Structure 1
Amino acid sequence: MQLISDGAIFATGSDACGGLRLRIHRLWENQNLEDAPSAVLKHLGELKRPYLSKFEEKLLGFLEQEYGIVD
């Protein structure tokens, strides 16, 4: 499960070194990031709950695919 805590993004399990934070950071660095994806990333980083919903996880995955940020 991907966790978010106190406005900073963290991950649990095998991705405990901030996998979600890294995923969002990679997208933020993209020079071609449009306004809508930028707003989505901002929202995901500001969530007050400690996890991403299935939809939010799919949305982040979609953005990674669209911008070629896939491991």
Structure 2
Amino acid sequence: MTVRNLPPVSELTEQQQRGWSCVWCAAPLSTGTAINLGEQRHEPAFGSPYWWFPRACPDARACAKREVTGDRR
């Protein structure tokens, strides 16, 4: 698997931050197949620090294609 830097949490939807959607292509994820990217701590300039839970699609090629085309299925 290729290692990718996570996008800035401030640019992600709530669904992406909570691991309900792919952190890169925003496609909905299922519990059994999503790739867990580990808990991530975010310390905003203002406000309290918090944890977020990114997950990714199991098929990296399909994910990359959706990311380019904007297809979220």
TM (normalized to structure 1)? 0.26
> Which structure has the higher relative contact order (CA within 8 Å, separation 6+)?
1
TM (normalized to structure 2)? 0.26
Greater helix percent: which structure? 1
In terms of Rg, which structure is larger? 2
